[in-house]
Amino acid sequence: MRQQRGVASCAIPSVSPIAQRGSALHGRRSGSTAIPNPLPWPVVLAEVIKAFGSPENAQRMEEARDNACNDMGKMLQFLLPVATQIQQDVIKAYGFSNDGEGVLKFARLIKSYESQDPEIANMSGKLKAMFLPPMTLPPHGAGTGGVAAS
């Protein structure tokens, strides 16, 4: 997979309370760069979201979606690697390793902040919607495996 360069940064004037407090990961080494303390999570998320919206990356995602044909297995095969690469290209500037493990670490940290900061939760939802298919719950009712009513 080829490397993308020149992802523009997006400045957001406010930093959430969570970003101001930082995380236990801050200051540890990840790859060759220390993750800054405190890391401005809303700014990082905004940059990742903006990267998905760039014309080149939007085209890459659209091609991957077309190849996946709404099949979950094919989405994992075609769409997820492209989404991972787009995220890697942004988060490596914040000290995350430039591989799948760096993206997983980033996702776990964002997930840990979602319940504490509505801005992060909202932005995280937007990011997930860019590459995860919507989940539909099965209908509730008789005959769906639940306890039978008498």
pLDDT in tens, the chain (150 residues): 444 433 333 333 333 333 333 333 343 333 444 555 567 889 999 999 999 999 999 999 999 999 998 888 898 899 999 999 999 999 999 999 999 999 999 999 999 999 999 999 999 999 998 887 766 667 776 555 555 554
Contacts of 3 (CB under 8 A, 6+ apart): 89
Residue pair 42/119 in contact by the 8 Å Cβ criterion:
yes
Kindly state the tokens that stand for 63.
Answer: 């091609």
pTM of the model: 0.66
